[in-house]
Structure formats: C-alpha cells, structure tokens
Structure 1
Amino acid sequence: MRATFVTRIFSPEVSAAAGILRSWAIAFRDAGAEVEVVTTRPPQGMVPDDPAGVRVRRAPVLRDRQHYVRGYLCYLSFDVPLFFRLLFGRRADLYVVEPPPTTVAVVRLVGFLRRTPYVVRAADLWSDAAAMVTDSRFVLGTLRRVEVWGLRGAQRLFAAHRPLADRLEELGVETPMTAIGFGADTESFTFTPQPSPPAPVFVYAGTHSEWHGAGIFVEAFTEFLPRHPGARLRFIGNGQERAALRARADELGIGDAVDFHTPIPPRDLAPVLSGATASLASLKPGQGYDYAFTTKVYSSLAAGCPVVFAGAGPTGPFLEAAAERGVGVAVPYTVTDVVDALERATSESPDAAARARLSAWTHETYSLRSIAQRVVTESLAIAEP
C-alpha cells in the first residue's frame, strides 16, 4: 500500500506534530507500506533526518519571523503548490493529513479528483482557537465552514482526545472518529541523570500563544524569586506571546532571571527537562478551548520531569489521577495558586531514582509507538490497494 503523508511540518522541525507524524510514518513503513511525505524544507540550519525507507519530498514555504509555518499567508504558500504536487504526483492509496483546515480542504479536493481516501490527525479545532485572536464573524465563519467541510470528507479522524471528538460531533462532523489519546516520543525523551541545579529551574517548553496563557508564570515568578535567589524561568520554543512575555518580565524587574530560547531538538531538550525542578504548562480558562489537553506534559514525564500545570481542560484531572506516580501538580489559573505550586515543586523535587521511575512508567504507558500502531491498523483497513 502507498501512504502519502501531507503536512506543512515534519522532522527535524521541533514540534509535537513533527514527532508524532514521524512516528506514524515509521509505523506505516514497518507495516509494509510504501511511505511518502509531502512537506516543506526545514528552516535554515536544520539538517533533515528523514527515516530510512521513507521518501520525503520537500518544497520551499513562507515562514514567519520565528521561522515557523504559521499564519494563513504561510499556510497558503504550502497549500497552493500542494494542490499541483498531489494532483500530478505519484498515486497513493491513502493520504494522511495534518491540518491546518486549508490543507485538509486541498486534500479533500485532490482526493475527489484522484479517487483517493484520506484520514486526518485532528489534534485541535482551529476555528475555536481562532476565536481567541479575532472577533471577525466573516473570518471565523469562513474558517469554520472550510474546517468542517474538510473533516467531513475524511474516512476517519484520529482525534487527540475524547473531549475534542465530542466537540467535533457538536458541530455536525459525522466522520468516524477514533480518540487515540496522547503519548511521548520515548525514543527522544528519556531520563538521563543531571547535576542538581544550585537554585530552582522551571522550564516552559513549547508554543506560548494567547490561549496558553503562559504569562501567569511570569507573574508568579515575581513573587517566587525573592524567596529563591538565583532561580531561573526558561521559555524554550516560540509563539506569538514571546515579545509580550519578555516585555512583562522586564517591566516587573525580573528580566535577568527569565530566559528565552528558540526551539531545540527533542534529544537536546530531554536532558534540560531531566535536570529541571519542574516543567510548566498552562491553558488559560474561558477562551472557548477548555477541552484541550497540553500534550507536552507526556514529553516532560518521559524525561523524568514533574509538571506544574495551571488552567483548564483535561490535563489537570490526568495529573491528579496519576499523582502517586510523582507526575506533578495541577492548580487553578491564579497567581497565588501558581506560586504555591512552584514552592511545592521546589520542596518536593524528586531525586534521580524517582525521576528514573517516572520516566520508565511513562515509557511503558504513553509511548507514541503504540498509538502509531493503532493508527496504522485502522488506516490499513480503510485503504487496501
């Protein structure tokens, strides 16, 4: 069977989607499929690390100032050529598609013309997320229609979690859905013993956009820092809130204690997490996105690093249910509660043996490999040559 992955982002780029899709491509290959990935050239300085036995076709794309494919001009710079790349490219038995909605819509159109089914990795509902950055009824209505149209044409949606699947059903998406759950790239994220830092170190790794509300940690750190001189707050990743976070840290007089780093590869990030006091994650409540799960917590736990989570959604209940494993703490989205959580994480920071046990449990329970195998099994049943 020929499976063609269609995605604007793929390894070696640093993102959850890139790692997930890489694991899926490898799983399809290991199941005997002929795998091709239609994607973009990585940012300058990143060297492709394409999996053996997987053909990767890359093309130029417009990127934003942080060298990320984000925003609809960037998306269209991928989607418009994509139509012709797929229409005149090698015939596939199945397309595996990563949003945005415009990409899914292009695949639905090409799939109709070439009589090729497709499945979608539905990690988010983009039209809900867009409501946090614009109140234009025209923009939101158009995006909603495009998104729902693309999802309805798929043979199956692999939803990141059950609440998202429920939300899609509310919008009238009747496509068969599988809630595949979450996982970590356990080949990259694993625990390696690190020297104990002289003062607490908290790491926020990943995207920091409006709906994440990462600014709560800057506010809380203002109260935490005087009691813990030398403590560090590190943001690793990118996002539209970066400039605002930096400016706020300077305004509060803690700019020297807050670091901002561009994304780094998972294998380089894992040791950073292994040595951190805790990782940080948040989801600002009341933004219409309260059903989302902050998937990066699995990568942190796989590296043996407990999590401090603030906000809404299913992440908090997950951490609370697994509290006996030392996964960390979930608190309401308030400065006072976050300060208390940072204090607790500092006083209860696990030793190397406890971190190794946390990592081993996560590897056994939440590996991306097992999720990828499930995706392959259900996809092969859809598209037999």
Structure 2
Amino acid sequence: MTSTTSGGDRCCSTSRSSCARFLRCSRGEVCRRVDRVLVISQSHLARDPRVRRTVRVLLDDGWQVEGLFLDARQVGENLRTWRFPLDHKRNGVLRYLVEYSSFFVWSLLWVVWRVLVGRPALVYVNSPPDLLVFAALPARLLGVPVVLDEHDPMPELFAAKGRRSVITRRLLLAQERWSIRFANRVITVHEPLQQLFESRVPGVPIDVIMNVPDLEGWDSVSWDAGSRVLVFTGTVAVRYGLDDVIRAMSLTYRKIPGIRLRVVGDGEDLEALKALAGELGVEDRLDCVGRVDHQEIPSFLAGAWVGVNVPKPDELGSLSFSNKIVEWVMLGFPVIAGRTQTLLRYFPEGTLLYVDPGSPESIAERLVELDQMGRDDVERNLERARAAVAQIAWPIQRANLIRVIRETVGA
C-alpha cells in the first residue's frame, strides 16, 4: 500500500516490487520517485570512457538512466540500455552517412517511445554527430531540457580524416551552430574547445567537463626504468602520429637497442602502420595487442618505459587533449607528447616530455634524451605532472557535471 506525500514523494510499506515504477525504497521508509535521464551516444558504452563516466555519475547521483548505444542490451536496477544494430565500419563517406542517418532515425523513434512511456527529466546527447541532438526533439517539445556533450569539433574531425572540401566544411559548421543553439545546455571537453565553440556561436555559453579518467578499481602499475617499451593505447590512426613514432623508432633502435612499441587498441590504420614498420625494418619491434577491456589496460602498461601521444599538427591535433595522457601520469608513467597550446594550458613545460608534432626527428631526439636521463630527473618531471593533474582531476569534473545536470533540470 502506498500513500502520496507532498512533492510527489511516496511511502512504501511493503516490498520494492509493490512500489510504483522507478521508485527506490525499502520496508517502512519514505522514498522518492526516481526521475529518468535518456542518454544517447553512437558509441559503445563499454569502450567510450567519457560516456561511461557520465552514466556512472547519473546513477550515483540517484537518476535512473535509459540509454541507446551500440552495445548489447543491459538491464539493471536503475540502468536500462538498448542496442542500435549497426556497428561502426569506417569505410568511407557513404558509410558514415548511412551510419549517422540510420542512428539518427533510430534515436528519434526511441525517444518518441520513451517519452510515451513517461516524461523524462533530461535528455543527454553525445556527439558526434552534432545533429544527433535533434533526435531529442519529441522530448524538447514537451519542455524536457536537452544537454549536448560536444566531444570533438566536427569540421576539424572530418578535415583530419581527409574531407577538406569547402562545401563540406560549411555544412559541418552550419550543423554545429544549429545543434548548439538547439540544446538547453552545451558541454565540451576543455577550455580551448569551449572558446572555439563560443566564437562560432556567439551568445551561447559552453560548460567544460574535462575528459579525464577515473581510475577507481584499476591495478597499480608504474614505469619500468630498465625497459625500453613505448606504449600507445587507443584508436590506431595515423592522425594520432603513430607513423611518426614508428619512424622515430627506426631512427633510434641502434642507439637504444631494446626499444619497442606496444600498441593497445585497433583502428582503420593498423595494417598501414604494420606495413610501414616492415618497410623501415622495425616490424619485429612493433607489438599490436588489439582492443582490450578498459579494466585490462594496466596489465598491458606493466613493464612499459614511456607513453607516447603525438597527434598530427593539424587543426584537430592542436585541439587534442587525450585522456590517455592523464591516465599515464596518474599511473606514474612519463609521457612523450606533441607540444600544443591546448596541452601547455594544463601541462606546462617540465611536466610532459614535449616534442614537435609531426616530426619523427624530434621524437627520436627526445627518446635518446630520455634514455640518458637519470631516474631522479624523470621522477621530478612526473611529480610536476601529477601536480598538474591534481588541478583537473576527475573528482573536480564529477562535481561540475553533477552541478550542470542539476541546474539544467532545475531550470
């Protein structure tokens, strides 16, 4: 038996199963209605750390989450997800258009269905694509607020993948502006990207929730001063400078006999990078692990010497802020990184081992320098890097995300 109290709260005097839907209570306790948040992302929840952290924050803050992703369906106490039955293939422009348009239609119909079930408190949409935010239109028409989380700037993302025509850029800029203006609240991953979006869409404030990892539950590992294994984790693509790292390895293996590159992940350029290693005579120094579960990553970092993250010096690379860099620093690994204004904003000189983006020679010089550095010098760099991470750590970002969500729903 239930009785209604002010504000819509309910008291359950029997078991949970007798409560109204989306209530959380126990015998004899007053319990409140658990509001739903719809989360949409054209990614795998298990593989996308930012989306996964967002869902976890929502659950921890007491929301019920219903999500549409690319993973198999999940059903839990306060988490229910549905799967879109078409995976990423990365096979050209036509495939991108088919994937984006199909997922948009599927998302639109899914939102209609979930709104008919009951009015949600919030719709949280992750880009890319930016236009996916318009799948929340049925909820928006009912007054439900919509959050757009801009992970990447799509004009720069497509340019980095070779789509650089003037028409393509204009269309991508237009859809970016429309999408940002449609949302009630817009979030992005760091201040330089915030400034870029605000310059393109004047008058629309953008919130920053930085893309930094939460390493709770990870095994403790640290760098191996005697090893000469470079490590990269993430999407295997030339735009992340892996070809430059392989070329740098070919320039240094005589000076650093034990040098190797361990790549943890997969992507569209894996075979091309293997072929390049073969051409340069270092194929026996390239270890490709493939994609692994996020919780398994520490085991593949064990015994490594340094993390490498050197995106190409293009528009997207200059805005790059890899959560892998923060991850490696938190775990206690030195990091070789491409020097960009975005990274320098958070990691000043003397924290990361900076190189010139797009320059195998600069990477090679830094590798030789690191090979000759004393352990104490490396540890001092790491200490400064950890101090920089402390200023942007996940607990700070988590609190900001909770604030933004509550303010948006409250408004």
Instruction: Verify same fold: TM over 0.5.
Output: yes
Deviations 1:92-127 (A, max 9, x none): 111111111255343353343443211122221011
Please, which of 344, 347, 353 is the counterpart of residue 369 of structure 2?
Answer: 344
Q: Does 2:217 align with 1:191?
A: no
Contact 2:148/2:186, CA 8 A, preserved across alignment: yes
Question: Which residues of 2 match residues 82-121 of structure 1 at below 5 A?
Answer: 82-89=107-114, 90=117, 91-102=119-130, 104-121=132-149
Q: Secondary structure at the match of 1:285?
A: coil
Please, which of 51, 55, 60 is the counterpart of residue 25 of structure 1?
Answer: 55
Q: Does 2:260 align with 1:211?
A: no
Contact 1:278/1:345, CA 8 A, preserved across alignment: no
What 5-or-longer segments of structure 1 have no aligned partner? 43-47
Alignment correspondent of 1:223: 251
Q: Does 2:191 align with 1:162?
A: yes
Contact 1:277/1:346, CA 8 A, preserved across alignment: no
Distance 1:200 1:349, change over 3 A: farther
Alignment correspondent of 1:329: 353
Q: How far apart, in 2, do the equivalents of 1:52 and 1:357 lie?
A: 41
Q: CA deviation at 1:297?
A: 0.4
Aligned residue type for 2:347: L
Alignment correspondent of 2:106: 81
Alignment correspondent of 1:238: 266
Please, which of 46, 55, 74 is the counterpart of residue 12 of structure 1?
Answer: 46
Contact 1:182/1:366, CA 8 A, preserved across alignment: no
Question: Which residues of 2 match residues 104-143 of structure 1 at below 5 A?
Answer: 104-132=132-160, 133-143=162-172
Distance 1:84 1:258, change over 3 A: same
Alignment correspondent of 2:342: 314
Distance 1:298 1:246, change over 3 A: same
Q: Secondary structure at the match of 2:176?
A: helix
Contact 2:104/2:132, CA 8 A, preserved across alignment: no
Alignment correspondent of 1:201: 229
Alignment correspondent of 1:377: 403
Q: CA deviation at 1:288?
A: 5.6
Distance 1:250 1:349, change over 3 A: farther
Q: How far apart, in 2, do the equivalents of 1:49 and 1:193 lie?
A: 34
Q: Does 2:91 align with 1:72?
A: no
Alignment correspondent of 1:271: 299
Q: CA deviation at 1:309?
A: 0.7
Aligned residue type for 2:352: G
Q: How far apart, in 1, do the equivalents of 2:299 and 2:384 lie?
A: 15
Contact 1:319/1:329, CA 8 A, preserved across alignment: no
Contact 2:105/2:135, CA 8 A, preserved across alignment: no
What 5-or-longer segments of structure 2 have no aligned partner? 1-34
Q: How far apart, in 1, do the equivalents of 2:206 and 2:44 lie?
A: 23
Deviations 1:24-67 (A, max 9, x none): 2222222222222222225xxxxx8887632222232233179x
Q: CA deviation at 1:140?
A: 2.6
TM superposition score normalised by structure 1: 0.84
Q: Secondary structure at the match of 2:127?
A: coil
Q: How far apart, in 2, do the equivalents of 1:359 and 1:329 lie?
A: 10
Q: How far apart, in 2, do the equivalents of 1:384 and 1:211 lie?
A: 41
Q: CA deviation at 1:199?
A: 4.2
Percent of counterpart pairs with the same letter? 21
Contact 2:45/2:70, CA 8 A, preserved across alignment: no
Q: How far apart, in 2, do the equivalents of 1:73 and 1:158 lie?
A: 26
Q: How far apart, in 2, do the equivalents of 1:278 and 1:152 lie?
A: 42
Alignment correspondent of 1:368: 394
Contact 2:252/2:364, CA 8 A, preserved across alignment: yes
Q: CA deviation at 1:145?
A: 1.7
Alignment correspondent of 1:148: 177
Aligned residue type for 1:24: T
Q: How far apart, in 2, do the equivalents of 1:287 and 1:30 lie?
A: 36
Instruction: Identify the structure with bigger relative contact order (alpha carbons < 8 Å, sequence gap 6+).
Output: 1
Distance 1:193 1:303, change over 3 A: closer
Q: CA RMSD in A?
A: 3.1
Distance 1:167 1:332, change over 3 A: same
Q: Which moved more, 1:260-269 or 1:53-62?
A: 53-62
Q: How far apart, in 2, do the equivalents of 1:330 and 1:188 lie?
A: 30
Contact 2:128/2:151, CA 8 A, preserved across alignment: no
Q: How far apart, in 1, do the equivalents of 2:79 and 2:296 lie?
A: 24
Aligned residue type for 1:266: H
Aligned residue type for 2:258: G
Q: Secondary structure at the match of 1:157?
A: strand
Contact 1:279/1:308, CA 8 A, preserved across alignment: yes
TM superposition score normalised by structure 2: 0.79
Contact 1:26/1:54, CA 8 A, preserved across alignment: no
Contact 1:182/1:295, CA 8 A, preserved across alignment: yes
